[in-house]
Amino acid sequence: MQRDEGGGMDLNEFAEAAGMDLNEVLERFSGNRALLVRMIKKFPGDTAFTELSSAMGTRNYKAASEAAHSLKGLAGNLGFNSLFALAGRMNRQGKAGDYSDFESLFSELKPDYERIVEAIRELE
């Protein structure tokens, strides 16, 4: 992936790396690219993933489902589609009391989250 002269990613490159439909997300932000970038950069500071990870570590699947719900909302608003889908599945299954796939879903979700956070670190 090409970087701009400063070495970081621009928003278009970030969108590709994060698997987001930039045009769709920009519509939600009324085309305000600067606002979108500010909101994206706040994403790693949110506690939803930390809470989810902690709950999974203690096998508190009800708390994990609740944290997945929060993460789903954040991911959806910012257009992180794969993260949105995985967190959504965890949340739906948790609401139904079905925790049988939580470990495998979390094992898919975690590297996706980490990939997005790494891309955010490179976003200028």
Q: How is the chain split into domains, by residue range? A: 11-122
Angle at alpha carbon of residue 50, lines to 44 and 53, rounded to 5°: 130
Q: Give the pLDDT score at 79.
A: 96
Q: What is the pLDDT of residues 57-113, one digit of tens each?
A: 999 999 999 999 999 999 999 999 999 999 999 999 999 999 999 999 999 999 999
Q: Give the pLDDT score at 124.
A: 86
CATH architecture of 11-122: Up-down Bundle (1.20)
Rounded CA-CA distance 7/77 in Å is 27
Q: What is the pLDDT of residues 18-63, one digit of tens each?
A: 999 999 999 999 999 999 999 999 999 999 999 999 999 999 999 9
Structure letter (DSSP) for residue 124: -
pTM summary value: 0.90
Interhelix angle 48-57/102-122, nearest 10 degrees: 150
Which phi and psi (to 5°) does residue 55 adopt?
A: -65, -40
- Enter the tokens of residue 30: 């009324």
User: Residue 8 — very low, low, confident or very high, per pLDDT cuts 50/70/90?
Assistant: confident
What CA–CA distances, in Å, run from 105 to 52, 85, 88, 89, 110?
A: 12, 10, 10, 8, 9
